């Protein structure tokens, strides 16, 4: 199956942000095709200088989860407007991160088999 996992929390709610990344990681480990959509504060997860500092309450390390997703080639789509507003972009992106627009996300929701939101 193809999943798009939408995450809206980041530095503002590290527990919810971590739960979204865990869901994406579990889906990938189960053999599914996964894309992560980051919007709002979640775009900081795509920032290689910030993601490892996001620590959820009683959660596994964000760094380990994201590093696993990156090593598996999971794409991270950062909402372009959200990322630009938070100085996140090519100069500090994770290897699998790229800018994406709302149209790309909406089309993925229509095309993919499942969508999860955090």
**pLDDT confidence band for 27 (50 / 70 / 90):** very high
What is the Cα–Cα distance from 32 to 107, expressed in whole angstroms?
A: 19
Contact 70, 25 (CB under 8 A): no
CA distances from 24 to 81, 85, 86, 91 (A): 23, 25, 23, 25
Q: Taking all residues of the chain, what is their mean pLDDT, rounded to a whole number?
A: 97
**pLDDT confidence band for 38 (50 / 70 / 90):** very high
* pLDDT tens digits along 87-110: 999 999 999 999 999 999 999 999
* pLDDT tens digits along 42-92: 999 999 999 999 999 999 999 999 999 999 999 999 999 999 999 999 999
Strand order in the sheet with 97-100: 97-100, 76-79, 33-38, 2-7, 114-117
Query: Considering only CA atoms, which of 12, 13, 38 is closest in space to residue 24?
Result: 38
CA distances from 45 to 30, 31, 74, 97 (A): 22, 23, 13, 10
**Of the options 3.40.1260.10, 3.40.50.1970, 3.40.50.2300, 3.40.718.10, the CATH number for the domain spanning 2-117:** 3.40.1260.10
Token pair for residue 65? 């989860």
Query: Considering only CA atoms, which of 67, 65, 17 is closest in space to residue 41?
Result: 17
């Amino acid at each position: 199956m193809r999943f798009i996992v939408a995450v809206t929390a980041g530095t503002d709610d590290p527990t919810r942000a971590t739960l979204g990344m865990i869901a994406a990681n579990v889906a990938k480990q189960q053999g599914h095709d996964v894309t992560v959509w980051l919007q709002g504060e979640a775009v900081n997860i795509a920032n290689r200088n910030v993601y490892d500092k996001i620590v959820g309450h009683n959660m596994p390390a964000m760094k380990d989860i994201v590093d696993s997703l990156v090593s598996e080639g999971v794409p991270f789509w950062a909402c372009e407007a959200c990322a630009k507003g938070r100085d996140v972009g090519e100069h500090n992106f994770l290897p699998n991160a790229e800018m994406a627009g709302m149209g790309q996300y909406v089309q993925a929701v229509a095309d993919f088999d499942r969508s999860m939101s955090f």
